[in-house]
Structure 1
């Protein structure tokens, strides 16, 4: 039998990689992860809960978006918020789908210390497709059970001349393949020579290559990755969403998976892409928490300042920075538009904010003068 797919290699699944190619990248990941966890420890419990909710929500929504499914964000958010004890759910805004997806994500992260068994995997698969169990779906797939006997292929293009991007191992022997994966997943958690981040990358690649279900393999793969990362950190609280970073480079994700699944058991290329994507995820989370902490410190500094409603509104927009389009500061004309005040009032408000130390003037003058937040104690890392 010709070895077209990686699982046809005689030593499958004994993966190997070039450690020297990954050393620097892995070190950057570990440092950023440590920085993020350290920052997270200094956030108040209410901000921590909000940050966790945001990260979990982002993870669920983007993992489905990778597969082309658009979820109702408000519905998923309500389901998560109730489970995290942040608020009571708006029952009119909660669907069985969002309830199941919230349950799945929290099972993987909050119960990270519990073993990953076949029974748990099958339960996760059932949570991915609640509409099937209610008879609401027209798609015939095996829910909560391994895939059928027909070949499992990932294809694109025309029906008469499809392009086969990947073919999974045959159905026969799949139970033994999965058992081997699950046993490795359990023992590798305590393997001294294996970095937890590399373990998460290997788990991701191995499981998605097995493709054990009719549908939902990608989402379950990313759930297993979240579980592996939670185990590596030995903490349930998530502050970053790796699925969001995968979605940012969705084409690259599929490209590197396809090339690696057709190659040798050296998965250095895949692990490089995985670590680069994880690093981006850490850095985005760090920037987000820095923004939250900066905003909190700013309002603590200016809690005695007598500010108008319009001034507070503009300051909050500036504190949100790039998310609101004001990463390069604000001009008098923009202040006028955001605050909905006259030109004279905008000029007076800006002068007051300069005097109170809330804003600082950026270089440049005349009509192009821009103003940005003045942080009195901006932290350095």
Structure 2
């Protein structure tokens, strides 16, 4: 039995007393982030948006096992925000693809025109944007709801097919989608919810839509875009300085585990209450991830100032195309991918060069004060970004 087979399953409930402390922490961090962002100069505001949008685009795809080209995404984001000269070489500007452009358009459309009612067509357009013709050879049904075949999430375990989840049948899907869209659109029309209610609404929206699984493919990415819209409505701004998808990707196994448990009526709260619509455990997981994302957003604002200083400091530094590419990768990683620094082997991988070239490039960046050597040495020598004698870690 799945959650959607429970009576009144969309009348979600949760234990407020259990959720309240974490929810308060989320709201406090959210207010702090909005306040800090409001103090940013316009140019840095755009650069912080750029950093967040790059992470969202890369990670929402990575969750589904699709690895996008970082340079392509960066180019699409820079062009979309009118930041063509933000540390990009001309060759990097030309990297944008139909796929990356379509994804960035989807993500920005999701958080735009927040009082405009959500429509089925809009959702179908988002899903279609994930599969531009030039980017896939698979015969995927796009721009419309899935067909009559059962929608199952399965895996193979020791030669045996395991069904993790089965979505509602196509027969009832249209009515279910209408119900969801009507519920989602009630918010911008009334705006009477408290700040707490609005955050909970985003958690409910995510679980509800991913459970419906209305499309043949792309359901996860559309769900996360929809969640971004709910959060943007909660914050009453189209500008986002954190990436929920980035933190979900970091906790991908936990993400799928909590979804499977909740949809299969196996969470502690569901078992104890005896009600499938008691989604306390899901709400707690969602709030934990959201809080991590907002905390990373606070760090992002600090770092975007440092990133701008970096390029200002090296505006006259002569660098090769590959060196700029690697430096941008370090800056874009927000300290997550290269927490311990970069070594010659990783430089080789990013720049697609030989070990000897990587070693020379790193030595050159060190001499030009773009990098500093981290503690340690020998084969494990690593380098960290350097800004005005302050190391970015």
Question: What is the TM-score of this pair, normalised by structure 1?
Answer: 0.76
Where does the alignment leave 5 or more consecutive residues of structure 1 unmatched? 310-316, 327-335, 347-371, 376-381
Deviations 1:291-331 (A, max 9, x none): 4447879999xx9xxxx99xxxxxxx9xx9885647xxxxx
Residues 241 and 300, structure 2, Cα contact 8 Å, conserved in 1: no
* Correspondence 1:270 to 2:290: no
> Secondary structure, in 3 states, of the residue corresponding to 2:170?
coil
**Distance in 1 between the 2:55 and 2:229 partners?**
16
Match of residue 29 from structure 2:
32
Q: How does 1:141-290 map onto structure 2 within 5 Å?
A: 141-158=140-157, 161-189=160-188, 190-192=191-193, 195-263=197-265, 264-290=276-302
Deviations 1:75-111 (A, max 9, x none): 1221121111111786641211111111111111233
**Distance in 1 between the 2:54 and 2:310 partners?**
27
Residues 109 and 236, structure 1, Cα contact 8 Å, conserved in 2: yes
Where does the alignment leave 5 or more consecutive residues of structure 2 unmatched? 266-275, 319-329, 342-362, 370-385
**Distance in 2 between the 1:299 and 1:166 partners?**
48
Q: Alpha carbon RMSD of aligned pairs, Å?
A: 3.3
Q: Which moved more, 1:93-102 or 1:252-261?
A: 93-102
**Distance in 2 between the 1:123 and 1:296 partners?**
35
Task: Give 1:266 shift.
Answer: 0.4
**Distance in 2 between the 1:122 and 1:338 partners?**
47
Residues 188 and 199, structure 1, Cα contact 8 Å, conserved in 2: no
Q: How does 1:1-381 map onto structure 2 within 5 Å?
A: 4-87=1-84, 92-131=94-133, 137-158=136-157, 161-189=160-188, 190-192=191-193, 195-263=197-265, 264-293=276-305, 325=340, 339-340=366-367
Residues 12 and 277, structure 2, Cα contact 8 Å, conserved in 1: yes
Task: Give 1:125 shift.
Answer: 1.3
Task: Give 1:196 shift.
Answer: 1.4
Residues 241 and 297, structure 2, Cα contact 8 Å, conserved in 1: yes
Question: What is the TM-score of this pair, normalised by structure 2?
Answer: 0.73
Relative to structure 1, the CA distance from residue 337 to residue 325 in structure 2 (aligned partners, 3 Å threshold; closer, same or farther) is farther
Instruction: Give the greater-gyration-radius structure (CA).
Output: 1
